[in-house]
Structure 1
Amino acid sequence: MTQPHYDESSVTVLKGLDPVKERPGMYTRTDSPTHIIQEVIDNAADEALGGFANRIHVCLNQDGSVSVFDNGRGIPIGIHPTEHVPVIELVFTQLHAGGKFNKKSGDSAYAFSGGLHGVGVSVTNALSQRLEVTVKRGGKVWRIVFADGAVIEPLQEIGTCAVKDSGTEIRVYPNPRYFESPNYQLGELERLLRAKAVLLPGVTVELTRFNKGDDTPQTQTWHYPDGLRGYLNDLLVNAQEAVPIFACENYISAGSEGDFSAGEGAAFALTWLEEGSVAGESYVNLIPTPLGGTHEAGLKQAVFNAVGNFINHHNLLPRGVKLQSDDVFSRTAFVLSVRVLDPQFQGQTKEKLTNRDALKLVAAVASDPLELWLNQNSDIGKKIAELAIKQAQARMRSVKKIEKRKGSGVAVLPGKLTDCESEDTRENELFLVEGDSAGGSAKLARDKATQAILPLRGKVLNSFETHRDQLFGNAEIHDIAVAIGVDPHGKDEEPDLSGLRYGKIAILSDADVDGAHIQVLLLTLFFKHFPKLIERGHVYVAQPPLFRVDVNAQGKNKPARKFYALDQQELDGILERLAKEGVRDTAHSISRFKGLGEMNPDQLKDTTMHPDTRRLLQAQIPDADIDGIEQVFVKLMGKGEAAARRAWMEAEGDKVEADV
């Protein structure tokens, strides 16, 4: 067999927009062109958020293109001082070029924005077969045209306009070769534009589209004079509210001391429902976050604290009932809009906020107004308390029912398992921890009410080709099966999950190559022998940090701080942020954790185990790709696949990013 050619010429360097074209899924959703249009809309919304625009108009044209117009300042068209090309060309042809950096220093063109990396519209350009930009700025009209990310019509002046008439119009022709479907998700676009109108007081948002076979355009207009309250009221059209909607906005004022900057804060509207639930909506700097994040956790904490304090103050809690956060929040319908100076999202699609500080920010600005409202309206407060207490009592009754079904034939639990106190499967969590020393730290870091620890010695068996009857010959696998209360089963079987003892089973290993290997071995075990646990969303992977950055106190108003980084990329981001803040290299130190055992319990709790601040990835098996996943496991874990693994490593090994 001919060996693959591999020398210095085999290494390819992707420049400009080539990385986006080569791997579009890293930068955007590829199911449809909707998200690359959203990037353009978000830029228009950032102009409105800064107070420079009061109109956003989106048009779905008959030729399949989309036009986005705003009457903001217009993209600068002058020559960049260091790159020596027009700024407008730079923005659309270079990754990480934009006006949303340097926020801490005050040199950014935007105080608050959803854009972070200068990536959005350049991705749109890269994945479009044609993109036209028209700018009104300084009494002149300018135009530039791109094709497949490259300039085909250089920037030129095409007319004049009134000096006060300014704005930007971008017309996008998505390239269908990069997307599974060329059709836009109209419902998603409508929700996005409606939300922009809600979150931008005084801004009118319009959507124009054409129906098939009809040349007459249809235009929808959104304008919400009542802001979040009116929007939430629309969402609740078919729901029965238990109490009136409470709406509030609270932002940090200039000159305030503390960890937050002037202008940061939150606006929110919420209510409680008599029955059922309505999915809450949250936004960060006008960007929708459908997967939630730390800002939603902050609101949840504020609501729990305010309602809990009200219940304690009025002595409403019955004997023997212990209130939990979900008891209070499960029937809450809310809309939350947060302003954060330097937001950090999970991925370029920005569906989840990950800033740890956002939890503290939202909790700080929301707690006092909520508590004041409850105490000023005690009837409302007592109604909310009644709903929360009923929810807690129902939860406790369900636990007792589950306990009776278990009977007396329960297997003896492993001696090294440190179990939790609660018997409610919905809230219980089991951490499978690498090593006894890490297990000791995890025991001290856990919430003993709901979190259990099972330390694992060494690496578990590669069980991919192990017969089910021989599984329990391995002590570690035997202990895992007994601890979770579910017998091994196949993907086509319907196992008895009534004995399941934990709603979340989290793999917790070191943030290095050995830890990754243990993760793979355990995921192999669950994929092959406990597939229904993955299918029903019970299996997770915890992500401990690899680095810690200690920053010395910066004067009286800035105490010492600690930052944690998951990997080198996050560490670089933290160091860049500190540099922008003016923190000298000598004023901070970097520590690398060799393993979980090196972390003290407080560090492990804050970074990896506390529900509000940890990073927990859910293991999922997409139905559409089950066969592909099966083949990957066969190649990686099959005993007779050494040749296939070697060929794969030779082909793909240069792409690995591993900390050894």
Structure 2
Amino acid sequence: MTALTTDFHDPEEYSARHLSVLEGLEAVRKRPGMYIGSTDSRGLTHCMWEIIDNSVDEALAGHCTRIDVVLHADGSVEVRDNGRGIPVDIEPRTGLSGVELVMTKLHAGGKFGSGSYTASGGLHGVGASVVNALSARLDVEVDRQGHTHAMSFRRGIPGVFDADGPDAGFTPRSGLEQVRRIAKKVTGTRVRFWADRQIFLKDADIAREALLDRARQTAFLVPGLTISVRDERTEGEEPYEEEFRFDGGISEFCAYLAPDPEVCPVLRIEGSGNFTETVPVLDEQGHMVPTDVERRLDVDVALRWGTGYDTTVRSFVNVIATPKGGTHLAGFERALVRVVNDQLRATKLLRASDDPVTKEDVLEGLTAVVTVRLPEPQFEGQTKEILGTSAASRIVSQVVGRELRTFLTSTKRTEKQQARAVLEKIVNAAKARLAARQQRETQRRKNALENSALPAKLVDCRSEGLERSELFIVEGDSALGTAKLARDSEFQALLPIRGKILNVQKASVADMLKNAECAAIIQVIGAGSGRSFDLDAARYGRVILMADADVDGAHIRCLLLTLFYRYMRPMLEAGRVFAAVPPLHRIELTNVRRKRGARPEDRYIYTYSDAELHRKLLELEKKGITWKEPVQRYKGLGEMDADQLAETTMDPRHRTLRRIRVDQAEEAAAVFELLMGNEVAPRRAFIAQGARELDLSRIDT
């Protein structure tokens, strides 16, 4: 890695001596984000999983049956396994032990075609060495050849610590030590590291729930592997422990992920295929030589259709999750659509004149786990979020297509009924999509004011430009009257709602559509709802929720956001939903007119919280500026006149808007289900737990 040390404007003064070269682990410490994504909690968790994945690779190779992960109270992380142990003998080219080699050299490991691993999660050989470079201290112990071998490092440099902990005295020294004798049959590796706070943010931490979720996921993906998690960061309480083992593999994983009753039981699809890949291979002289290598790719898929409408598809390569998909997922989806369409034509559920079903129709209600295993997969980046191996698409498509066609054409009575139920569900999804599209096309913005389907209480704007138009959803008719006077009628539309709308997280689709307020919002936005929602058809560029700055207003915003998240989620994902931020107080200054150039509007200052009010009053007092007592506190939007509402909340030149986004969809879904769903017990537990953190002085009683 090459970096510039100074910015020179004169070309004559800029030469090769002004370049610096970062060697080895120095490059990791200089640019950690390139290797672990970030230096916050996400990057720290990535470091932990680099170590755990090495143990999982041992399990994939059939040499490890148990992995223990310990989050120590001092902030360190320890990973233990009973695999073969890192090699401790001397590597001839470098003269280093295997342990020191993999811990200090980038792109060093047993996953470069040596035959040690036929399929692994790691392929770049940088995981352990990167973690070592970013650790204030890393201790490694290896049980192998009848001895326990140990070694320590500080920021990637081997040496000896004179006490426990990362701040102990350190003496640099190379070499592996034998610390005790053990039985020859005992093997395994233990790695414990303390994150370097010079690199990671002070609040970077490993979330227990995220660790448990991925540990459970890995145990599903490697049948017979036991993964134990122990969290000792409990401050006086007993350490938290949980253990995972699932012998059913991804069939059990698919059933675990499924959120709805089944239309068909879990189908297991397995197969493999071969492909040829040209890769650079290290020869005996240490030269990289392009070589054609024969590869084998194993496909293992579990899927089932349920009665719901949501799609849950998880994809993995060698146990590593690929949240953004890749070639294997593309092949899976292509095979589903092709085989289903062929079978629908064959069974006459689709006529020759009908349009084929789409991917969205086939995926509706589908829960699937797609896994492939292959040596040296081609990922995009060290974070391994997308598989790029091109042959995976063809092989997965062939295997899934062949096995799924066998199920759908089965003559066995039970399987025939299940296949028929799946095909009918997909056809119904296609019919619903077409009906929704037809309905949506009748609700386009053209001639919208003459369209009787639009609610009469909508106060529309004149502009048809999507980029500028805004829809304010206003709480109450009293606030509507003021908002009419405060708005810019050229591009700001108003839709009043009465009080608190239906909680759609608990209600059915039919109940939601019967609710006048929910139906009015969906009709006015004009882009449909649910899976048929078309973001391009939305009549407004922005939707702004404008409610009172009190508890009831917050509840109304929460109910409205639940409606958008459940039935119009693309609006949230596109960042087109906002919450207005009305002020809570108005301070009327009494001596500001004495100052030269003061305007009438300068007599008023607005604050948006009690803390901001307190700070502002102290600031005014220090400046000798007086104000009218008592300070006005707004109980609702209706208490403002039009000028005040425009200046503080509606005028784009002065207002503040809070953009509502969905950054982590799974966590957002879990929170909506917890706070707004049908299950009362988890919500009660959440409220009871949060009550301990409540500031009683902030309750307005």
- TM-score when normalising by structure 1: 0.60
Between 74-83 and 128-137, the greater mean CA deviation after superposition? 74-83
- Return closer, same or farther for 1:312/1:75 CA change in 2, 3 Å cut-off: same
Equivalence for 1:287: 320
Q: AA paired with 2:379?
A: F
Equivalence for 1:15: 23
Structure 2 residue 135 is the aligned partner of structure 1 residue 128: yes
Equivalence for 1:381: 419
Do 2:8 and 2:14's aligned partners in 1 also have CA atoms closer than 8 Å? no
Determine the C-alpha separation between the residues in 2 that align with 1:2 and 1:95: 32
Q: Residue 434 of structure 2: SS of its match in structure 1? A: helix
Determine the C-alpha separation between the residues in 2 that align with 1:52 and 1:486: 64
Equivalence for 2:82: 71
Pairing partner for 1:301 from 312, 325, 334? 334
Do 1:327 and 1:388's aligned partners in 2 also have CA atoms closer than 8 Å? yes
Do 1:252 and 1:261's aligned partners in 2 also have CA atoms closer than 8 Å? no
Give per-residue Cα distances to partners, 1:241-295, cap 9 Å, x unaligned: 222111232234899xxx9956522112111121132532221001111222221
- Return closer, same or farther for 1:72/1:491 CA change in 2, 3 Å cut-off: farther
Give per-residue Cα distances to partners, 1:450-493, cap 9 Å, x unaligned: xxxxxxxxxxxxxxxxxxxxxxxxxxxxxxxxxxx965449998
Q: Residue 389 of structure 1: SS of its match in structure 2? A: helix
Structure 2 residue 229 is the aligned partner of structure 1 residue 195: no
Do 2:575 and 2:661's aligned partners in 1 also have CA atoms closer than 8 Å? no
How far apart are residue 397 of structure 1 and its match? 1.9
Pairing partner for 1:149 from 138, 142, 156? 156
Equivalence for 2:179: 158
Equivalence for 2:437: 399
Matching of residues 217-236 of structure 1 within 5 Å: 217-236=239-258
Do 2:273 and 2:395's aligned partners in 1 also have CA atoms closer than 8 Å? no
How far apart are residue 44 of structure 1 and its match? 0.4
Matching of residues 163-312 of structure 1 within 5 Å: 163-180=184-201, 181-214=203-236, 216-236=238-258, 238-252=259-273, 263-312=296-345
Do 2:295 and 2:375's aligned partners in 1 also have CA atoms closer than 8 Å? no
- TM-score when normalising by structure 2: 0.57
- Return closer, same or farther for 1:219/1:624 CA change in 2, 3 Å cut-off: closer
Do 2:315 and 2:329's aligned partners in 1 also have CA atoms closer than 8 Å? yes
Give per-residue Cα distances to partners, 1:512-541, cap 9 Å, x unaligned: xxxxxxxxxxxxxxxxxxxx9997189xxx
Equivalence for 2:34: 26
Equivalence for 1:85: 96
Q: AA paired with 1:209?
A: D
Determine the C-alpha separation between the residues in 2 that align with 1:622 and 1:267: 38
How far apart are residue 394 of structure 1 and its match? 1.7
Q: Residue 91 of structure 2: SS of its match in structure 1? A: coil
Compare CA radii of gyration and give the structure with the larger one: 2
- Return closer, same or farther for 1:88/1:211 CA change in 2, 3 Å cut-off: closer
**Total equivalences in the alignment:** 435
Please, what is the CA RMSD of the aligned residues? 3.5
Q: Residue 228 of structure 2: SS of its match in structure 1? A: strand
- Return closer, same or farther for 1:225/1:323 CA change in 2, 3 Å cut-off: same
- Return closer, same or farther for 1:335/1:489 CA change in 2, 3 Å cut-off: same
How far apart are residue 165 of structure 1 and its match? 0.7
Determine the C-alpha separation between the residues in 2 that align with 1:145 and 1:494: 65
Determine the C-alpha separation between the residues in 2 that align with 1:161 and 1:228: 37
- Return closer, same or farther for 1:137/1:490 CA change in 2, 3 Å cut-off: farther
How far apart are residue 240 of structure 1 and its match? 2.1
Do 1:251 and 1:262's aligned partners in 2 also have CA atoms closer than 8 Å? no
Determine the C-alpha separation between the residues in 1 that align with 2:187 and 2:660: 47
Q: Residue 12 of structure 1: SS of its match in structure 2? A: strand
Do 1:260 and 1:361's aligned partners in 2 also have CA atoms closer than 8 Å? no
Between 246-255 and 122-131, the greater mean CA deviation after superposition? 246-255
- Return closer, same or farther for 1:347/1:217 CA change in 2, 3 Å cut-off: same
How far apart are residue 407 of structure 1 and its match? 6.6
- Return closer, same or farther for 1:494/1:186 CA change in 2, 3 Å cut-off: farther
- Return closer, same or farther for 1:534/1:247 CA change in 2, 3 Å cut-off: closer
How far apart are residue 392 of structure 1 and its match? 1.2
How far apart are residue 2 of structure 1 and its match? 9.6
Do 1:127 and 1:149's aligned partners in 2 also have CA atoms closer than 8 Å? yes
Pairing partner for 2:393 from 338, 359, 369? 359
Give per-residue Cα distances to partners, 1:392-443, cap 9 Å, x unaligned: 1122122223322337679xxxxxxxxxxxxxxxxxxxxxxxxxxxxxxxxx
How far apart are residue 176 of structure 1 and its match? 2.7
Matching of residues 500-511 of structure 1 within 5 Å: none
Matching of residues 638-649 of structure 1 within 5 Å: none
Determine the C-alpha separation between the residues in 1 that align with 2:53 and 2:399: 25
Q: AA paired with 1:108?
A: G
Matching of residues 436-475 of structure 1 within 5 Å: none
Pairing partner for 1:335 from 360, 366, 369? 369
Determine the C-alpha separation between the residues in 1 that align with 2:572 and 2:229: 41
Q: Residue 176 of structure 1: SS of its match in structure 2? A: coil
Q: AA paired with 2:208?
A: L
How far apart are residue 494 of structure 1 and its match? 7.9
Between 189-198 and 494-503, the greater mean CA deviation after superposition? 494-503
Q: 5+ residue gaps in structure 1?
A: 411-484, 504-531, 539-620, 626-660
- Return closer, same or farther for 1:494/1:23 CA change in 2, 3 Å cut-off: farther
Equivalence for 2:404: 370
Do 2:85 and 2:187's aligned partners in 1 also have CA atoms closer than 8 Å? yes
Q: 5+ residue gaps in structure 2?
A: 1-6, 161-174, 277-291, 449-463, 472-490, 494-523, 528-533, 538-569, 577-658, 664-701
Q: AA paired with 1:89?
A: E
Give per-residue Cα distances to partners, 1:64-113, cap 9 Å, x unaligned: 111111111111112211111222111111111111112xxxx2321111
How far apart are residue 314 of structure 1 and its match? 1.3
Determine the C-alpha separation between the residues in 2 that align with 1:299 and 1:486: 40
Q: Residue 96 of structure 2: SS of its match in structure 1? A: coil
